[in-house]
Amino acid sequence: MVAPLRRIREWRSIFRPPGEIPHVPHAPTTVMLLEFNKNSVTDQRTIAYKEVDSLPPVPTGAVRWLHVDGIEAGPASTTCLAAVGTDHLEREDLHTPGHRPKVSSLSDQGTVLAVTPVLEWNETSRRVEERQIGIVCRGSVVVTLAEKGVSSIGAVRERVLSGGGRVRQMPAEYLAYLILDSAVDQMSHIPAAMLEQIEDIEDTILEGRDDTAVFRAVQGLRSDAVAARRILGALNGELRASLGGAGQVAPPLWSKELVPYVKDLVDHAVMMVEIFDTRRDQSAGLVPLHTAVTGARMNQVMKTLTIIATIFIPLTFVAGIYGMNFVHMPELQWWWAYPAVILLMGVIAGVMLFLFRRKHWL
């Protein structure tokens, strides 16, 4: 059975009053709590959602990270998002799968709200899988919602625990930036995997395999590249807008300390968009390659059949002459007529083969 094409999720609108979010019965009820300052990690545990409201204020100079493993609307996500002051429309964006990348401020300036799909490469199935993360940063508190399988969350968590980089020395919004940067970094592994698959398909085509699986693989690669380019292109636009500047109505979303980092992320996103454009063109170029190889094979077959037919045309003519049932045919009573005609046919075929080889048609 041929595996179906890989599908990328797109937003599907279901009519309901704005901001009304249906709760999922089996939504997460626990929250990962990670609190740290410049010197160390001061708190690291998994808590029930009811404990979020009773947490003490964040100490001066510390950052509190609340992470929910799932984007479904449920007790844990609702409690955490209420703790950072999101309204019903903002929560609707965070809970909607397949949402377009968005980086903006909440009702008040200085609070970061980010929602973006991310693509993960599954090495086992060699498929691109789409996930989504949501980030809210208000003051010293960062709340994240992420679907299961988003490796960028684990990478940032390990960096916080190990104290690598500047994450402990920077404010909370740096943690929000770092999660976005890690998500883009995780997607940067996909082009190399796609290039390897493209080269495998090229080898398959050049070896002469002609089946629908090749076309399905090519179409899957092309749709993956288009989806990745769409996500990164939209995220790049949102990040540029969040920096403010000429032509922007809203003021910059990030502090001056974070602007150079976000600009670097924008450059990285632009580079990724260009790479995925290349992968899209490369995968689209596999179809003409397949057509050219198939055409060349067909031409070779037709050439061989044409040469065979050309050799037998004069032989058929000779056989047709002596197959006529006329009484007064001169060679009809000749003793050596049959061997002579067979020899004549052999000479004709040999001469034609000699001429074909001399002209390099064979």
Residue 104: enclosing H or E segment and its boundaries?
A: strand 102-105
Confidence band (pLDDT; 50, 70, 90) for 108? low
pLDDT of residue 164: 81
Quote the DSSP letter at residue 332: G
- pTM (predicted TM-score): 0.77
| Separation in Å, CA 119 to CA 67, 215, 221, 304 | 19, 22, 13, 49
| Closest by Cα among 215, 230, 234, 232 to 283 | 215
Whole-angstrom distance between the N-terminal and C-terminal Cα of the chain? 41
Under the banding of pLDDT at 50, 70 and 90, the label for residue 221 is confident
Query: Lowest-confidence range among 5-9, 112-116, 187-191?
Result: 5-9
The predicted-structure confidence for 129-185, as pLDDT tens digits, reads as follows 888 999 999 889 999 999 887 888 989 999 999 988 889 999 999 999 999 999 898
| Ramachandran angles phi, psi of 192, nearest 5° | -65, -40
pLDDT digits (tens, 9 = 90+) for 16-32: 566 566 667 788 889 99
Instruction: Write down the pLDDT at residue 110.
Output: 57
Task: Please give the domain boundaries of the chain with CATH numbers for all domains.
Answer: 30-284 (3.30.460.20), 290-358 (1.20.58.340)
